[in-house]
Amino acid sequence: MNYPYIPHTDEDIRAMLEFIGVSSVEELFSSIPVSARSSLNLPKSKDEFSVFKRLKEISEMNAPLEDYAVFLGAGVYKRYVPTVVYDLAMKPDFLTAYTPYQAEVSQGTLQALFEYQTMVCELTGMEVANASMYDGATALAEAALMSFRLTGKEKVVVARSVHPEYRAVLRTYLEKRGFTVVEAGYDETGRVLLEEVDEETAAIAIQYPNFFGIIEDLDYVRSRSGNALLIVVVEPVSLALLEPPGSYGADIVVGEGQSLGLPMWFGGYSLGIFATKEKYVRQMPGRLIGQTVDQDGSVTYTMILQTREQHIRRARATSNICSNHAHAALIAAVYMSVMGPDGLKEVARRSYSAAHYLQERLEDMGFKLCFSGEFFSEFVFNVPEDYPERWKRMMEKRILGPLPLKGFYPELGDTALACATEVTSKEDIEKLLEAMK
């Protein structure tokens, strides 16, 4: 089998297959379901203008997100991003090389990342933040690994009310390496029940607000954590209203930063937030940007404490894949600067108000809340058995309705997770209510 872009000969391929103990390339990929494998089936080459014409036709099959009433949340949110954010963040000056290793020619990017770190610390109430990570899920997994390094223990208790996909990534990171992951349940309020914490527990991981939208009681969690470290997964916009986790003694704060100026796109790219206490900084994965002065006494910025295997001995590296989403962090820094504290509070207030208005209207129609705890901008409510089919039909009406939860939480039965943000209008809500009848 010849692959024009792979330089290996047939003899090379046979030698590699023999070394790893399989007889063919097909056998190598046999663990991947056939349904998940696909062939590109690319057509024959055409001239450039014909290709552009066809690509434009394909792109026009997508309806603009602005045409949809969006009630999907679950970690990715439709928010308004002021035009100035992209006018600044997309300047060619910032769209440069992947990594600003040469500080003397990267001062603008380094300063933007330094400001991003500073604003993350202000939002979370923590002492130090890194220059970003891949996304919220991998940030949580790296936080668990960091807790093992700090404590010498190998068990983490994670609330079942943490995003189910985050928990899946956590298990992927940890279980094959011999670490233990234990899940803690939740009560009728939707908040975590901590009964699995013992002396062997390195850390407790909870979400605030949690996946159900419920605002966790961090005082309760901290009081039940014993000697275990406290990892808190956050939605950053909510912290403009809620008391920051640092105020409750959180040891590591992670989260998904998509809310801070990044569009929903088609599921990516996103931004991993990671903050901790200063005393733990040498075990923090990722890059850290520092401020200093140059030989002339002028303020300057540089990368410090680079704890990757590229910079230090592999055995001492905190992670070998903890690069950062520098441009996404830059967008977040511009967004937070443009919005300011008052602007972020207004976004959070409007999100809270819109969600509670939506909940009241649904309740008037007979849809009951699943949990009694206070929620921020998302909530779980009971739906009819045929809701998943209705949900799919809503998309034809350009409504991205509340997310069916039976596949994630079978114990909740027929339920859905609804979300509203500052851009959710009364017209959008009426459109959803009509579709829910």
Does 297 have pLDDT greater than 80? Answer: yes
pLDDT tens string 99-116: 677 777 788 889 999 999
**Domain boundary residue among 285, 305, 335?**
335
Give the pLDDT of residue 123.
97
Q: For residue range 352-400, what is the model confidence (pLDDT) as tens digits? A: 999 999 999 999 999 999 999 999 999 999 999 999 999 999 999 999 9
Tokens representing 354?
Answer: 């819109």
Q: 131 and 324 in contact (C-beta within 8 Å)?
A: yes
- Give residue 321's pLDDT band: very low, low, confident or very high (50, 70, 90): low
Identify the CATH number of the domain in which residue 312 sits.
3.40.640.10
Choice among 195-199, 281-285, 287-291 with the minimum mean pLDDT: 195-199
Q: Is the pLDDT of residue 98 over 80?
A: no
Tell me, yes or no, whether 272 lies in a domain. yes
Q: Are 284 and 146 in contact (CB under 8 A)?
A: yes
| 296 and 243 together in one domain | yes
Are 259 and 145 in the same domain?
A: yes
- The enclosing H or E element of 305 equals none
Residue 116 maps to a domain:
yes
- State the total domains in the chain: 3
Residue 302: strand, helix, or coil = strand
The CATH number that applies at residue 403 is: 3.90.1150.10
Q: Helices (DSSP H) in 257-314: which residue ranges?
A: none
pLDDT 10s digits, 244-261: 999 999 999 999 999 999
The overall average pLDDT reported for the chain is 91
Judge whether residue 241 has pLDDT over 60: yes
Q: Are residues 204 and 127 in the same domain?
A: yes
In Å, what is the CA distance from 252 to each residue of 207, 299, 320, 398, 419?
Answer: 12, 29, 20, 39, 26
Asked whether the predicted pLDDT for residue 322 surpasses 80, the reply is no
Decide if 59 is inside a domain: no
Question: How many Å is the Cα radius of gyration of the chain?
Answer: 24
| pLDDT over 90 (residue 308) | no
Residue 314: per-residue pLDDT: 64
* Per-residue confidence band for 287, with pLDDT thresholds at 50, 70 and 90: confident
Domain that holds residue 7: 1-35+45-51
Mean pLDDT over 186-190 rounds to 97
Average of per-residue pLDDT across 299-326 = 71
Q: Read off the pLDDT of residues 129-153 as tens digits, 9 standing for 90 and up.
A: 999 999 999 999 999 999 999 999 9
Q: Is 416 helix (H, G, I), strand (E, B) or coil?
A: strand
Q: How many CB atoms lie within 10 A of CB 147?
A: 26
Q: Which residues contact 331 (CB under 8 A, 6 or more apart)?
A: 85, 86, 89, 260, 261, 262
Instruction: Provide the CA 153 distance to its chain's centre, in angstroms.
Output: 26
Same domain, 358 and 244: no
Q: Domain check: are 76 and 129 in the same one? A: no
387-421: string of b/e by CB count within 10 Å (b at 16+)? beebbeebeeeebbbbbbbbebbeebeebbbbbbb
139 and 170 inside one domain: yes
User: What's the pLDDT score for residue 323?
Assistant: 57
